[in-house]
Chains A and B, each alone.
Chain A
Amino acid sequence: MALKNRYDFVLLFDVKDGNPNGDPDAGNLPRVDAETGRGLVTDVSLKRKVRNFIGLVKGEQPPYEIYIKEKAVLNNQNKRAYIGINKAELLEGDDKKRKGGNAVEEARLWMCRNFYDVRTFGAVMSTGINCGQVRGPVQMTFARSVDPVVPQEHAITRMAVATEAEAEKQSGDNRTMGRKFTVPYGLYIAHGFVSSFLAKQTGFDESDLELLWQALIQMFDHDRSAARGEMATRGLYVFKHDNELGNAPAFSLFERIQPKRKDGVVVPRSVEDYQVSVIEDELPSGVTLEKKV
């Protein structure tokens, strides 16, 4: 079913003794806004996790294939059948001007139908006029930590060496040193938006939206690695507007979700050290708040 509402959401997630998003410019240190000391996680990092989660739970089958893959979730090197194109169905409900559309249009719609990430986040295709971009309905921003984070560097040892030459050099000692970076603790906030108008253009529907919420809630549970430490979604607050255009400015709604350190906590080290105040009183008419987590 096509979307009939605008949604704005706030995603709260935390990291404990891990590196939520390495900065390639700083030798993979956790990203930090140098001037405020607050940690950053890029939009693309979060979208990567959504893609990986969908790829994992839907097994890379249409209509939930993932176009932009990471090798870790790749399992479709073998050929397999695709759904045939039912042209009549494709043209139904679409913009009238596009009726009887050319091959470009058909390809664009076909991509949207088969690939979850194309119809969710959009994609650039080398088709049609003006780059033939597909603009996705879901828009996400950089995540920022509530308080400044202090990245830590840890030297670690490996009781083995990679090459014979190295072993000889160490005369059998066989050790190498490495380093890893962590944030002891950080609670991060990201904002997101879902446009029903763009959803109609890509065929992103209610069930896709439910899947997106599920992905945002569970994506960190399936992204465990030595580098990440413990990451988890701590809050997903969805503002649903009963009007397609919306009933209130998104940023006035976001201000209602305020995580603050509890009194007396100087150094936050767990989610318990934070109090998330959610102002639910006097929501603008036509806006409902759904607490998914």
Chain B
Amino acid sequence: MKTYCLEVSSDLACFTRPEMKVERVSYDVMTPSSARAVFESILWKPAIRWHIEKIEVLRPIHWITVRRNEVGAVISMRNTQEVMNKNAGCLGLNIEDERQQRAGLFLRDVTYRIHAHFELLPDAGENNTAAKFLDMFERRAGKGQCVNQPYLGCREFACDFRLVDTETTHPAWETLSAAEKTDLGFESKRDLGWMLYDMDFSNVTNPQPKFFRAKLENGVLHVPSWNSEEVRG
């Protein structure tokens, strides 16, 4: 299946580490699951599944911390139903009562190139051919069309996206300093530790996280295939 490359960039990004999600701390680079979501925001049908192949990191890794007032409560299903049934009552949440101040450690000034292809699922049906989806994706991505604006980790970090040639080189890397190059795994691989690969939705009611050992090699994060041994649940 043909591989496509999207160049995405944004002022800010937060690929939240699951172990530090109360006060959000981002992974150093984009996760495969959020890269998948970028492709899905442009084209997704139940007949296809996107697979991320590699993520190129074009800018040095910079951080910013932002503390915000957030709400700690979740809309209660039971209260909602009670009010619905009685046709009376009081819903709504006072932010002063449920306030949490949370800091976030986000990435800033990020640019990635994400390479991905899609797989046609076995139960796609006769009308859903690969060629049809290839056409649709090329048309949409080329024109900047999307179902919702893609974002880098959180919705407030909307990203710019461009469909680029997979073979083009990256002038951005040539301008990096030696320290920045080391940071991106030039010369010797940089181990990023265990990173979230994606959620396994095969059991829809109880999706399970899958992880893989992420390494930056010459600015590139190679993503193993979903069913490979490197991906652990």
Contacts and interface: CB of A to CB of B under 8 A. Distances in A.
B80 A107 contact: yes
B158 A139 contact: yes
Nearest to B98: A68
B156 interface: yes
Given A68-B71, A247-B143, A197 B87 contact: no
B87 A70 contact: no
A249 B75 contact: no
A126 B93 CA distance: 14
Contact of B144 (A81, A103, A246): A246
B90 A77 contact: yes
A197 B147 CA distance: 6
Interface string B195-211: 00000000011010000
A121 to B, nearest CB: 9
A227 interface: no
A82 B88 contact: yes
B160 A129 contact: no
A279 interface: no
A19 to B, nearest CB: 14
Interface string A218-260: 0000000000000000000000000101111111100000000
Q: Is the interface of A mostly helix, strand, loop or mixed?
A: mixed
Contacts of A193: 148-149, 158
Interface string B78-96: 0011011001111111111
A42 B68 CA distance: 8
Given A70-B96, A129-B204, A245-B145, A124 B66 contact: no
A251 B160 contact: yes
Nearest to A44: B68
Contacts of A111: 75, 80
Contacts of A127: 75, 77
A165 B81 CA distance: 51
B67 A24 contact: yes
Contacts of B148: 135, 137, 139, 193, 195, 197-198
Contacts of A34: 64
A206 B101 CA distance: 35
Contacts, number: 151
A84 interface: yes
A129 B205 CA distance: 6
B76 interface: yes
B147 A44 contact: no
Given A79-B88, A79-B90, A141-B157, A246 B143 contact: yes
Contacts of B160: 249-251
A282 B87 CA distance: 53
A67 interface: yes
A249 B144 contact: yes
B161 interface: yes
A172 B80 CA distance: 55
A14 interface: no
B110 to A, nearest CB: 14
A107 B71 contact: no
Contacts of A24: 67-69, 101
13 contacts: A24-B68, A25-B66, A34-B64, A70-B95, A74-B94, A83-B87, A110-B80, A125-B80, A139-B158, A141-B11, A191-B158, A193-B148, A249-B162
Interface of A: 8, 23-25, 31, 33-35, 40, 42-44, 65-71, 74, 76-77, 79-85, 103-104, 106-107, 110-111, 114-115, 118, 123-127, 129-130, 132, 135, 137, 139-142, 144, 191, 193, 195, 197-198, 243, 245-252
Interface of B: 11-12, 62, 64-71, 74-77, 80-81, 83-84, 87-96, 101, 103, 108, 140, 143-149, 151, 155-158, 160-162, 204-205, 207
